[in-house]
Amino acid sequence: MAATAFDMLVELEQLGRGFAGDLPTEEVPGDVWAGVGFRLRGWRFVCSMSEVAELLKYPAIAPIPRTKSWVRGMANVRGTLLPIMDLNGFLGDHGPSLTRLSRVLVVPMENAYTGLLVDEVFGVQHFPRESLGEAPGDLDPRYASFVTGSVEHDGEVWLVFSMPALVKAPQFLMVAS
């Protein structure tokens, strides 16, 4: 009796399984904490992954009259209006902060989102959970309300930034000039 196409496929599968190697075992890393790393004026910050909805290149914006200088304007992102705030400006550094490395962190805020302009984004960073510690005592007072801790990894200190603390801060909510 002649072999059917199906019989030949079954035979090929069995031959293939005979030559298949074992899959590598997955190495499970220790207890790690992941966050989005970003830079503001030379300081390295990291915030929890759950506190950032999206990363954007700096979009085209329309200015919003009668707002504080750190309110950059409003952007249309895929049909949704997104206010863009200059995080450096809000924190008191009013120098020019828009460069080719600048990015916008989209952060949930109650029933909406806001965009935060930062100097640079380093992407997702992974830190051993045991390396999480207290905020440094010599922290710049401008950041103190929003920094909940620090983490040292590979010789660098990252400040743990709380986006919820920022978006709930009364001074952040008062955008009218």
**Average pLDDT across the chain, whole number:** 88
Q: Is 77 exposed, middle or buried (CB count within 10 Å of its CB: 0-12, 13-18, 19+)?
A: middle
Task: Give the H or E element holding residue 33.
Answer: strand 32-40
Global pTM reads 0.79
| Cβ atoms of residues 86 and 117 within 8 Å | yes
115 token code pair:
């965009």
pLDDT bracket for residue 2 (50, 70, 90): low
Count of residues making up the chain: 177
Higher pLDDT, 23 or 111: 111
| Cβ atoms of residues 52 and 36 within 8 Å | yes
Please state, in angstroms and rounded to a whole number, the distance separating the CA atoms of residues 166 and 20.
Answer: 54
pLDDT per residue over 70-93, tens digit each?
Answer: 999 999 999 989 999 999 999 987
Counting runs of H as helices and runs of E as strands, what totals does the chain give?
Answer: 5, 12
Q: Which CATH superfamily is domain 33-173 in?
A: CheA-289, Domain 4 (2.40.50.180)
| Cβ atoms of residues 56 and 172 within 8 Å | no
